[in-house]
Amino acid sequence: MIKLLALLQAAIVFGTVILYGSMGEILTEKSGNLNLGVPGIMYLGGIAGLAGAFAYQNSAANPTGSAAFLIALACALGASVLGGLIYCFLTVTLRANQNVTGLTLTIFGTGLANLYGGAMNKMAGGVGQISVATASDAFRATIAPFRGLPLLNGLGCLVYIAIVIAIIMSWFLSRTRKGLNLRAVGESPATADAAGINVTKYKYKATCIGCAVSGLGGLYYVMDYIKGTWANDGGIGSLGWLAVALVIFARWKPLHAIWGSYLFGILFWLYYYLPDLFHMQLTRSSQELWKMLPYAVTIVVLVAASMKHKRENQPPESLGLAYFREER
């Protein structure tokens, strides 16, 4: 029972990273923008939050957890929104190809993050020497009502914030006028424009807010998942691509992304807990095969999703297409 709870908790922590990335991309894609720069945005959010906390903790005489938390959060959100603005300017204003722009943003975010991560490692005394324990402890602190409870003890506040965001996003997209306007922009920007909806404004806002949400995934990875340091191992990038796949797995529904992300987390950590749960002995090579499971399931899901032709399971009709107003 203890090992099962440990597996579920590890799955929740893992799943929260990709849940943030997928929710941000769902909101972005509802506007018709296909942002393949999610991994890059997550990198920007992670490194900006870490840099902000690192600078604060090394300059303040008595750093506090609440201040470190807010500074890291503000830096992560600011960097992520800036990435969203760059994407929008290129794809909405200049009408650049969305696929190329997104991939370029991923390369840019990855390179910039690893550049600054390496610089901070050097300042801290070597690889793996960065420590923002004050900020990390604040992010990882268990909310008071959940302390001591099975499964929930040890989960930081960003786990619950992710669930709240998913619920609010689902309500916004299905129950509010602005949410319906956003979906109209994603389905047919020309029709929405003719109805008096400002297509450019909706695309900019949805993409920038979506990038802010995705950036929180990178921040959570750095502050909670790897406990306040920097690892140049491509971890954020791989989880970012899983987040993009989860958008399709969840059929562009934020609530489906919650259980989908936790399912991916269970599949990822299953290899580690299998020996104790099922009394199995895994060799090193078989462990690597089990680690492939979430990615293999992703491929199967993508193939299965492409074979379903129900309208509610399809992406927005104008997804990935630039809107030229004169073509109405």
Range of the domain at 194: 2-327
Q: How confident is the model at residue 128 (pLDDT cuts 50, 70, 90)?
A: low
Q: What is the largest CA-CA distance in the chain?
A: 66
In the chain, the amino acid numbered 148 is G
- pLDDT the model gives residue 276: 74
In the chain, the amino acid numbered 200 is T
The pLDDT of residue 328 is above 60: no
Mean pLDDT of 265-288: 80
Q: How confident is the model at residue 309 (pLDDT cuts 50, 70, 90)?
A: low
Q: How confident is the model at residue 317 (pLDDT cuts 50, 70, 90)?
A: very high
- pLDDT the model gives residue 217: 97
- Show the CA angle centred on residue 229, arms to residues 226 and 235, nearest 5°: 50
- pLDDT the model gives residue 274: 79
Q: How confident is the model at residue 1 (pLDDT cuts 50, 70, 90)?
A: low
- What burial letters (b/e) apply to 259-292, b meaning 16+ CB within 10 Å? ebbbbbbbbbbbbbbbeeeeeeeeeeeeeeebee
Of 140-144, 159-163, 307-311, 323-327, minimum mean pLDDT range = 307-311
Burial of 145 (0-12, 13-18, 19+ CB in 10 A): exposed
Per the rule left: phi > 0, alpha: psi between -120 and 50, beta: everything else, 320 is left
CATH number reported for the structural domain that contains residue 49 in this entry: 1.10.3470
Domain count, the chain: 1
Measured between alpha carbons, how far is 301 from 207 in angstroms, rounded to an integer? 25
Q: How confident is the model at residue 212 (pLDDT cuts 50, 70, 90)?
A: very high
Q: List pLDDT tens digits, range 214-259.
A: 999 999 999 999 989 898 888 899 999 999 999 988 989 999 999 9
- pLDDT the model gives residue 153: 84
CA end-to-end distance (rounded Å), the chain: 61
Q: Which of 105, 258, 247, 255 has its CA nearest to residue 186?
A: 247
Backbone angles phi, psi at 11, to 5 degrees: -65, -40
pTM equals 0.94
Mean pLDDT of 119-137: 83
Q: Which of 257, 254, 217, 255 has its CA nearest to residue 235?
A: 217
Token couple for 134 = 């004050």
60-74, 128-142, 261-275 — most confident range = 60-74
- pLDDT the model gives residue 286: 78
- pLDDT the model gives residue 205: 97
- pLDDT the model gives residue 121: 84
